[in-house]
Structure 1
Amino acid sequence: MISLGITEILSKLGFGASFLTNSFLIYLTIFHVRKIYGTYKQMIVYFAISGILLTGLEPIARPFCHNFNGSLIYFSVGTLDLPQFTVQLILSIWAGFYLQTISFISIQFYYRYLCFFDVKKAKSFGGLKTVLWIGYPLIIGASYSTFIFLFSIPDTYSDDYMRLIIIRKLCTYFSLRSEIFNIYELEITERPRFDVVFYDAEGNIRIRSLCFTVSSISMITVHYIVILYCGIRMHLNMKRELKKFSAPQRKLQRQFFHALIAQCSGPTLFLVLPAAPILLTPILSPIVDISVSWRTGWFYSIVGLYPPFDSIAYMVIVTEYKKVIRNILKRPSLICGGKHPIERTSKTSSSNQKT
């Protein structure tokens, strides 16, 4: 059995990797990259910061999850001496970053879509309206966190149900060289947690659990529909629409599109796909009459991989980042503000040159 302490190590490593790669991306974007400016530059910085915050909350929240038949418990295995409500709040905020990330990716796809098909509308993303596209993902994330509190706060029935499993046979990590497996019992009512028990004692669907599941799946699905629609339309019409741009801009626009696909792949692989069995098992397990007792919280260990994955993919795909990195390696003085050899693209160029 793998020690639970490994999740703490992985979450800290994830935060370290996320902080370094995203900070480097932010630094390059703000101070060195010249062909990306305006709204899209702000979006890159925003996305990088949200990745740092997500992985930064994980070592504090120490989220874990256990699926047992028709139930799901989302709880903290952290050891910080904090009030239970505070840890619950951190757990809900951490979960809210799931939806915030997906919603913001859908905004990026929509923005790139407008850059192809309606430049005038794309310009509306700038100025004071920046608050709208920054605020929308925050509202979505906050809404999901609120739904968790409304529909998943523990009650007497869910506690009695979950007390049957008490999360036995968990283990504790003591050192890097050795793992000491220590079986212990955990009184579930003492842990900061959220419960989803889909059916009551008579086999009827519990409305609060249904509301949580439907709201979760709906919010994810709606944003993925936007991503798929915009992505497919851009892919099918890219050759025609790129004729509006100059040769250098055509190459850059293709790179932006490919980078956006990579940015979508990261959260899909590390956030959405692992969450699917966690959310659906409480519904399907009783229907197909299969007994389930899964430590699905191990999936959370890979969440910290997506921010560095996205940042590295972006810097690899967009050529200017690679050029800037090469120049910095050749001339370290650039880090301290030396003059960059890459000429800044004029902001007074025609509107169809803008990113």
Structure 2
Amino acid sequence: MSLFDIAYILTKIGFCISFLSNFVLIYLTIFHVKQVFVTYKRMVVYFAVIGILFAGLEVLGRPFAHNFNGSLIFFSSSKLGVPHELLLLSISVWGGFYSLIIAFIAVQFVYRYLSLFGTKTAKKFDGYGTIVWGLYPIIPGAIYTYAFHIFCIPNDYTDGYMRNEVLSTYEFNISEVPRFIMVPYDSNGHLRIESLQNISVDLFLVCSHYLIIIYCGLGMHFNMKKELEKFSVPQQKLQRQFFKALVIQSLGPTIFLVLPAAPVLLTPVVAPLLDMEVHWKTGWLFSLIGLFPPFDSVAFMLIVTEYKKIIKKKFLKQEPEVPKDPSTTALSVRMV
């Protein structure tokens, strides 16, 4: 069994788990959950669909990466007989989902922030506002994808730099696979403007949305106790659960998407400066990335109490616990 076959098996397992967990989340949100507001229900469903599409694209394109000294090749290892151009598009869109996911988490943080502080702006997320926040994350995702096709299209220099490494490591001709290549430095050691622009675009799209997440997250954390006094006791509990779920949802992409991708993208820039020899099959990290969608969906259902109650009742056939009457408990104690 080849390296790519093993990676593909892990990818398919990740897709099945992602599809199942996110399908359950979508089903419960649409047909059973009552306490969650309509707008936030749409956000939950939207995010679950993103997770399924992200995992599905990985199965279709079978993206893989390899770092060699001052270069990075991002290519498709698919054997499905899909046209070259479609595979190229699929792995670039898959890469664009990085930015799309972070952007949508930022949208959720903004919405929860505005809802907590009771501003009228939060109401603009309803109605036609749904179209705006639904389409917005696609913009940074599309820019991220487009950056691949502008700054990382292979040429004679980049193919020549990677050709022998790819042939000796994977035993195929580099010209035969759909690929994007980033070689930050030219033959004289000067920084190539295309690579600088690509890295700058990637960092801006990801970091700008993380700043929004951090700002809104800290604002809610330090002011939550005061602001929750405006809500009823059940709503206070629900608001706290939503905040915890959002924090976990932001940790999921950070752990499974951003952190694994960071060394892959930055090594081509840093390795030549440190005079490092690099021969890393970094595509293995994509198997870890496949854990992100189920991690987020399962964590959300575990944190929000209503989901746990429905799962126990519908799937585990457990009746919800009936709270004891305090007066009855007190009477029993006196009788004893």
Smaller-chain TM-score range? over 0.9
> What corresponds to 2:283 in structure 1?
297
- Partner AA of 2:98 in structure 1: Y
> What corresponds to 1:227 in structure 2?
213
Instruction: Give distance in 1, aligned partners of 2:248 and 2:202.
Output: 24
Q: Over residues 110-139 of structure 1, what are the superposed CA-to-partner deviations in whole Å (9 max), with x where a residue is unaligned? A: 110101124311111011111110101111
Q: Over residues 49-71 of structure 1, what are the superposed CA-to-partner deviations in whole Å (9 max), with x where a residue is unaligned? A: 00000001111100000011111
Return the offset for 1:329.
Answer: 3.4
Answering whether residue 140 of structure 2 is matched by residue 151 of structure 1, we say no
Q: For residues 206-217 of structure 1, what are the structure 2 equivalents within 5 Å?
A: 206-217=192-203
Cα separation, partners in 2 of 1:90 and 1:330, compared to 1, 3 Å? closer
Return the offset for 1:168.
Answer: 2.8
Report the TM-score, using the length of structure 2 for normalisation.
Answer: 0.92
> What corresponds to 1:239 in structure 2?
225
Q: Over residues 131-170 of structure 1, what are the superposed CA-to-partner deviations in whole Å (9 max), with x where a residue is unaligned? A: 1101011111111111110100111110111113125344
Instruction: Give distance in 2, aligned partners of 1:205 and 1:311.
Output: 42
Answering whether residue 239 of structure 2 is matched by residue 253 of structure 1, we say yes
Return the offset for 1:228.
Answer: 0.6
Q: For residues 1-355 of structure 1, what are the structure 2 equivalents within 5 Å?
A: 3-170=3-170, 185-329=171-315
Return the offset for 1:37.
Answer: 2.5
Instruction: Give distance in 2, aligned partners of 1:111 and 1:50.
Output: 18
- Partner AA of 2:51 in structure 1: G
Return the offset for 1:2.
Answer: 7.8
For the 8 Å contact 2:260–2:289, the answer to whether it is kept is: no
Alignment partner of 1:21: what SS? helix
Alignment partner of 2:104: what SS? helix
Instruction: Give distance in 2, aligned partners of 1:99 and 1:306.
Output: 14
Instruction: Give distance in 2, aligned partners of 1:127 and 1:311.
Output: 25
- Partner AA of 1:42 in structure 2: R
Cα separation, partners in 2 of 1:163 and 1:112, compared to 1, 3 Å? same
- Partner AA of 2:189 in structure 1: G
Q: Over residues 59-115 of structure 1, what are the superposed CA-to-partner deviations in whole Å (9 max), with x where a residue is unaligned? A: 110000001111100001111212211110111111111111010001001110101
Instruction: Give distance in 1, aligned partners of 2:314 and 2:110.
Output: 33
Cα separation, partners in 2 of 1:24 and 1:167, compared to 1, 3 Å? farther
Return the offset for 1:330.
Answer: 5.8
Q: Over residues 208-249 of structure 1, what are the superposed CA-to-partner deviations in whole Å (9 max), with x where a residue is unaligned? A: 111111111111100100011111111011111111111110
Please provide the CA RMSD for this pair.
1.8
Alignment partner of 1:290: what SS? coil
Report the TM-score, using the length of structure 1 for normalisation.
Answer: 0.88
Give aligned-pair identity as a percent. Answer: 53
Instruction: Give distance in 1, aligned partners of 2:205 and 2:58.
Output: 22
Instruction: Give distance in 1, aligned partners of 2:90 and 2:181.
Output: 16
Instruction: Give distance in 2, aligned partners of 1:96 and 1:276.
Output: 15
Alignment partner of 1:81: what SS? coil
Gaps of 5+ in 2: 321-336
> After TM superposition, where is structure 1 displaced by more than 6 Å over at least 4 residues in a row?
none
Return the offset for 1:301.
Answer: 0.8
Return the offset for 1:331.
Answer: 5.1
- Partner AA of 1:164 in structure 2: N
Instruction: Give distance in 1, aligned partners of 2:46 and 2:229.
Output: 30
- Partner AA of 2:179 in structure 1: R
Instruction: Give distance in 1, aligned partners of 2:167 and 2:275.
Output: 21
> What corresponds to 2:324 in structure 1?
none
Instruction: Give distance in 2, aligned partners of 1:245 and 1:323.
Output: 22
For the 8 Å contact 2:22–2:52, the answer to whether it is kept is: yes
Query: What is the number of residues matched between the two proteins?
Result: 321
Q: Over residues 296-353 of structure 1, what are the superposed CA-to-partner deviations in whole Å (9 max), with x where a residue is unaligned? A: 1110011111111101100000000011111213659xxxxxxx9xxxxxxxxxxxxx
